[in-house]
Chains A and B, each alone.
Chain A
Amino acid sequence: MRDFAPLLIIPAAALVVGPAHATEYLSIEQAQKAIFPEADRFVAAPVLLSEEQREAIEDRAGVKQRWEKQDVWRAEKNGQLIGWFIVDNVVGKHEFITYAAGLLPEGKVKGVEVMVFKETHGDEIREASWRKTLEGKTLADPFKLDKDVPNISGATLSCRNVMNGVKRLLVLQQVALPAR
């Protein structure tokens, strides 16, 4: 290994952990108000999924339900259920992306908000113009990039995983949440 010692310094320097770039855009309360501004109460209703339910979600959504516990809130107005507010994490290119989805009782997407985006790039998915393409979606929609949801070049993985995550939450609603 002659003459190699100086080169060893370079990888050592390169592999020093870089600074974190975590950016929290919305708190849970802010995301709740953004998606369900008409709600007068949010009631925590966390869901603990059984193995069978997780398998059912994966089978129908086509993506893995990674966690047993899903953070869910009932959005209520005058004591009536007006929708479900769900906080979820999906894989980004380097880190998990935390977002919230609002689902109407009939199984339709009310809105999507990106809460924490630790990714180092691709935060264009936070733009309202992209998130709005998910509004109104049901499980009858294709959920296909560049078909019914636009792709953002350079952020394809983020687009795909948030899109698939929303579809998975629609399935989770059918599998694990009551109709009212």
Chain B
Amino acid sequence: MNSRTRLATATFASLMLATPVLADENLLGYTAGAETLPKGAAEAYLWITHHGDKRRGSYAAQTIRAEYEYGFTDRLSGAIYLNGYRHDVDCGPTGCAGPIDNGEFADLKVNKTQLSGISAEVKKMLLSPYKDDLGVALYGEFTYDSVDSITGEKGTGFELEGKVIFQKPYMDGQLQWLSNIEIEAESWKPEGDGKTEYAVAPRFRTGVAYRFAPNWFVGAEGWIDAEVLNPGNGSWEFDHWDVFGGPSLHYGGKDWWATLTWAPQLAGSDESNDNSTGQHLADHEKYEVRLKIGYNF
């Protein structure tokens, strides 16, 4: 058997063995890897992201996402999401953020869980991290939202997100470095007569994950993002920037995996001049905790 015949035979054999795989296993909670699900493989995910504490008042919100991902080819996958929010917020008369005499979210009080919308995602792996040494993938996601993620108030929003994903394995894959360059464009029209707001947010995420024991990875990741905003009057203005970062822990099992990340806000632009605490707590919170669970079937 010559090498070309062996190559063809082995490739055919591999196609016949439809064992579930975990190629798109998320080693970090926020920073994506470049691998895609192989052709015909499917994976279900549950994401829960807790957003905790603003400048004042009481603020707790959870973003909940249920995702189904499918591998169309070995290098192209798609996913659909069902999204929801849980809010338990009581900002009081001075509001949860901004200046005390003109606080943001003043008198906001909400305690409810709401289904908010759907998302669709497509991911294309251009280079494999293990075959080509540096993995590169393109990612696009569209979201329809009917709930304001911060306040829980109803409205209509659309979001388009694009990413370029890089993944570099070191130490034969025991250590992975992941980076994402992202851009997000969104619109939001509050229920009633409010104007439609537009925002564009570039973001850079990076992190490492190291396998310290069989099945277990410890990692750290962080990101910086900024947002420019058009509040509906046609003019664009810089709104804020922020930096988050923290540790993560990942477990990968036979049929499922889980990743837990804790990310406090390390720095950010103040919402107003009289709040010089070095954090942006209007659009973001003091910390986030994300749990992702993936299951193969």
Contacts and interface: CB of A to CB of B under 8 A. Distances in A.
Given A95-B214, A146-B131, A153-B23, A132 B10 contact: yes
B58 A2 contact: yes
Nearest to B86: A3
A151 B249 CA distance: 29
Interface residues of B, number: 56
Contacts of B260: 11, 14-15
A90 interface: yes
B63 to A, nearest CB: 11
A100 to B, nearest CB: 18
Interface in A160-180: 160-161, 164
B174 interface: yes
A4 B262 CA distance: 13
Q: Which of B37, B58, B251 has the most CB of A within 10 A?
A: B251
Nearest to B293: A14
A64 to B, nearest CB: 7
Interface stretch (B14-22, B188-196, B238-246, B269-277): B14-22
A150 B21 CA distance: 18
A150 B13 CA distance: 11
Nearest to A148: B3
A18 B253 contact: yes
Interface stretch (A68-76, A105-113, A122-130): A122-130
A58 to B, nearest CB: 12
Interface stretch (B47-55, B153-161, B226-234): B47-55
B102 interface: no
Contacts of B59: 2
A90 B172 contact: yes
B17 A127 contact: yes
Q: Which of B3, B14, B39 has the most CB of A within 10 A?
A: B14
A63 B172 contact: yes
Nearest to A127: B13
A26 interface: no
A124 B58 contact: no
A140 interface: no
A160 B253 CA distance: 21
Contacts of A145: 130-131
Q: Which of A21, A151, A156 has the most CB of B within 10 A?
A: A156
A2 B90 CA distance: 10
A133 interface: yes
A81 B191 CA distance: 83
A78 B20 CA distance: 47
Interface string B172-212: 11100000000000000000000000000000000000010
Given A63-B172, A91-B173, A153-B74, A123 B10 contact: no
Contact of A95 (B6, B58, B215, B291): B215
B131 A151 contact: yes
Contact of B173 (A120, A146, A157): A157
B3 A2 contact: no
A153 B38 CA distance: 6
Contact of B254 (A18, A90, A155, A156): A18
A94 B211 contact: yes
Contacts of A14: 251, 258, 260, 291, 293
A121 interface: yes
A146 B289 CA distance: 40
Interface string A73-102: 000000000000000001101111000000
10 contacts: A2-B60, A15-B260, A18-B251, A19-B254, A64-B172, A94-B211, A95-B214, A132-B1, A153-B21, A157-B130
Top 7 A-B residue pairs of the complex, sorted by shortest distance between their CB atoms: A154-B21, A18-B253, A14-B258, A153-B38, A120-B254, A3-B88, A91-B172
Given A129-B9, A150-B14, 4 more contacts: A2-B59, A3-B62, A120-B255, A130-B13
Interface of B: 1, 3, 6-7, 9-14, 17, 19-23, 25, 35, 37-39, 41, 48, 50, 52-53, 58-60, 62, 74, 86, 88, 128, 130-131, 169, 171-174, 211, 214-215, 249, 251-256, 258, 260, 289, 291, 293
